[in-house]
Amino acid sequence: MKRTLALILAALASAAVFGGLVHAVLVFAHLSEPAATTVRGFTLQRLWASMGLLWGLVGVVIGGLALARPNSRFGTASGRIGAAVALVAGPIALANGGLVLAFARGGPGTGNGVVGGAAGVVLGLIAAVLGGMALAGSRRIASARETT
């Protein structure tokens, strides 16, 4: 019961931190003001931002798995595949989210994918950091194996 409560609290805290980081990116890009008229539905710009968000999410999940389970299928035992995937997906998401924010004309609710672009930037940075940490850990493990 205590572990479940701790996991729920950790998930809520990480969601709050993620929301704060997305808001900080929107404020930094001067796109934090809501739109005067809200566009509903899926637009091409929202699709573009969602694809960047998806790349970032894949990078974070695979990078987290490579970091948490280094001897699993996506870890260091299989040639650092998980770290490489996170290191590729993270910068793709970061660049895609940055381009969405650069070309957006208006804030959240305009149909330009601003929130998805900001989330892509945040997730891309997190994925790149997780991939780098997993790659560094795999190098440590590989050098330890060679010395024994």
Question: What's at 8, amino acid-wise?
Answer: I
Q: Using CA atoms, how far apart are residues 15 and 79, in angstroms rounded to an integer?
A: 32
The pLDDT value recorded for residue 91 is 92
Rounded mean pLDDT, 50-62: 89
Q: pLDDT > 90: what percent of the chain?
A: 9
Rounded mean pLDDT, 31-50: 73
- What contacts 135, CB < 8 A, 6 or more positions away? 80, 83, 84, 87
Six token digits for residue 146: 């060679």
The pLDDT value recorded for residue 81 is 81
CA 89 → CA 14, 19, 130, 141, 144, distances in Å? 21, 21, 11, 23, 28
The pLDDT value recorded for residue 63 is 85
The pLDDT value recorded for residue 75 is 47
pLDDT tens digit sequence for 73-121: 554 455 578 888 888 999 999 999 888 888 877 777 777 778 888 888 8
pTM (predicted TM-score): 0.71
Domain ranges of the chain: 2-147
On average, the pLDDT of the chain sits at 78
CA contacts within 13 A on the Cβ side of 21: 17
The pLDDT value recorded for residue 92 is 92
